[in-house]
Homo-oligomer: A and B are copies of this chain.
Amino acid sequence: MDERVREHAAVLVDWSAQVEAGDDVVLSVGPDAHELAVAVAEQLGERGANLLATYSSGEVTRAYLRAHDGEFEEPGHERALVEQADVYLSLGGGRNTSSTADVPGETRQAYDTARADVREVRFDTRWVSTVHPTRSLAQQANMAYAAYREFAYDAILRDWESLAEEMDRLKTRLDEGSRVRLVSDETDLTMSIGNRTAVNSAASVAYDSHNLPSGEVFTAPTATEGTVTFDIPMTIRGEPVRNARLEFEDGAVVDYAAEQGGGVIGDVLETDAGARRLGELGIGMNRGIDRQTDNILFDEKMGDTVHLALGRAYDACLPDGESGNDSAVHVDLITDVSDDSRLEIDGVVVQRNGRFRWEDGFQEP
Contact = CB atoms under 8 A, between A and B. Distances in A.
Interface of A: 22, 24-27, 29, 31, 34, 37-39, 41-46, 48, 50-57, 59-61, 63-69, 71, 73-85
B45 A67 contact: yes
B60 A37 contact: yes
B42 A67 contact: yes
Given A54-B53, A54-B54, A55-B37, A26 B77 contact: yes
Given A67-B42, A80-B81, A51 B75 contact: yes
Given A34-B31, A77-B26, A81-B80, A41 B64 contact: yes
A365 to B, nearest CB: 55
30 contacts: A24-B75, A24-B77, A25-B77, A27-B55, A27-B60, A31-B34, A34-B60, A37-B55, A39-B63, A41-B61, A41-B63, A41-B64, A42-B64, A45-B65, A45-B66, A46-B67, A48-B68, A48-B69, A50-B73, A50-B76, A51-B64, A52-B78, A52-B81, A53-B55, A53-B60, A54-B54, A54-B55, A77-B84, A80-B80, A81-B84
A115 to B, nearest CB: 10
Contact of A64 (B44, B54, B71, B84): B44
B55 A29 contact: yes
Nearest to A22: B73
**Main SS at interface, chain A:** helix
A7 to B, nearest CB: 15
Contacts of A51: 60, 64, 75
Given A24-B76, A77-B84, A83-B80, A67 B50 contact: no
